[in-house]
Chains A and B, each alone.
Chain A
Amino acid sequence: MSDAPATPTRVDLSELSAMFEAVPYAKFLGVQLELKGDELTAILPFKDTLIGNPMLPALHGGVVGALMELTAVAQIFLAQGGKKIPKVIDISIDYLRSGRPVDTYARAHVTKLGRRIANVRVEAWQFDRADPIAALHGHFLLKSDEAEAEPKG
């Protein structure tokens, strides 16, 4: 029996930020990370280039999806105690509200951290955490050294 929490925090914010800052696309979007204990929040500060519908105006759905995907990746990185960047296998995004031209936040929960696969759920919100603008459910391939040593296919 193990008393270890579901997402053991063996990584600090500086390691996590270093991993993120090395990803040019995270910088392109402008995603920032905040870590309190083992609770990770990704923040996407609003900027005009994130708009997908200039009439409403609304954030591009792809941008909201990408934010949640990056949040999932960071949460897995945290749950694994910092290894290589996991690779996305599939994602399913529900759009619940159009994203307003303000800052957006996202939090992820690793439902299951297997040996090779992580199952993750993410929610993104703006004004009210209880009123999310989008939700993501996805599977990610863990690129641990062990998995990489396995034959392909």
Chain B
Amino acid sequence: MALSCHVSKSNAPHYGDRMSDDTPLWQRMATAGAMMIQGTPQARALGMRVIAITEARAVVEVDWREDLVGDPETGVIASGVVTTLLDNTCGVAAFAALSEPMSTATLDLRIDYMRPAKKGATIRAEAHCYRMTKTVAFVRAFAFDGDDETDPVAAAQAAFMMGTSGRMGKNRRPPK
């Protein structure tokens, strides 16, 4: 079984590469990766960094921080941070599988926490959107706290609804 959702970093375009209009969405995203995090307040609050975006794949990291600890006895990062990182990375991978941008909504997210992350370690999430239908994106992801691809901290399986009504400011009013 291939455990890793490995993204080849060498194939990923670098920030500042010139893009033409017919450049695939994921390549346009790859250049805008830093902006995607900057535009998401919670991702910015956690200090997330986009490491790579390739077709239907994404790698995002978050550093260990004192204020993100979940167990004061061990100093281990909160599982909630890993949850948010995996959710976010899965969403970026689903987006990177599209040919044109559209609004998405998470349907469900299942996470297995195999072991606590090492104290002080950067958490890296690698996500792959392995199937995209007209309406749903199916994504798998792993979270690692080191280079050992056979020893993930957590695994995720997510489904996203594609092309939802993402009208600007829609949520400013309560639901009907």
Contact = CB atoms under 8 A, between A and B. Distances in A.
Given A62-B84, A98-B105, A131-B175, A55 B166 contact: yes
Given A87-B116, A94-B107, A49 B80 contact: no
B171 A95 contact: no
B88 interface: yes
A23 to B, nearest CB: 6
A35 interface: no
Task: Assign chain A's interface to a size class.
Answer: 35 or more
Given A89-B113, A97-B175, A101-B172, A63 B84 contact: yes
Nearest to A99: B171
Given A25-B70, A27-B67, A90-B112, A49 B42 contact: yes
Interface stretch (A64-72, A105-113, A115-123): A64-72
Interface residues of B, number: 47
Contacts of B1: none
B94 interface: no
Given A28-B67, A60-B84, A48 B175 contact: no
A24 B68 CA distance: 6
A147 interface: no
A93 interface: yes
A62 B79 contact: no
Interface in A51-109: 51-58, 60-63, 65-67, 69-70, 84-85, 87-95, 97-98, 100-102
B136 interface: no
B149 interface: no
B109 A66 contact: no
Given A28-B68, A49-B45, A90-B112, A101 B171 contact: yes
A29 B80 contact: yes
Contacts of A48: 41
Nearest to B41: A51
Interface string B72-109: 11000111110111111001000000000001011111
Contacts of B16: none
B66, B79, B103, B167: residue with the most chain A Cβ atoms closer than 10 Å: B79
B83 A69 contact: yes
A84 B72 CA distance: 11
A23 B72 contact: yes
A112 B17 CA distance: 55
A67 B78 CA distance: 12
A101 to B, nearest CB: 6
B79 A69 contact: yes
Interface in B24-67: 39-45, 66-67
Nearest 9 A/B pairs, CB to CB: A62-B84, A66-B80, A25-B78, A60-B42, A62-B87, A49-B45, A56-B171, A51-B41, A24-B69
19 contacts: A23-B69, A24-B72, A25-B77, A27-B67, A28-B68, A50-B42, A51-B42, A54-B41, A57-B171, A60-B41, A62-B86, A65-B109, A66-B80, A70-B80, A90-B110, A90-B112, A100-B171, A100-B172, A100-B174
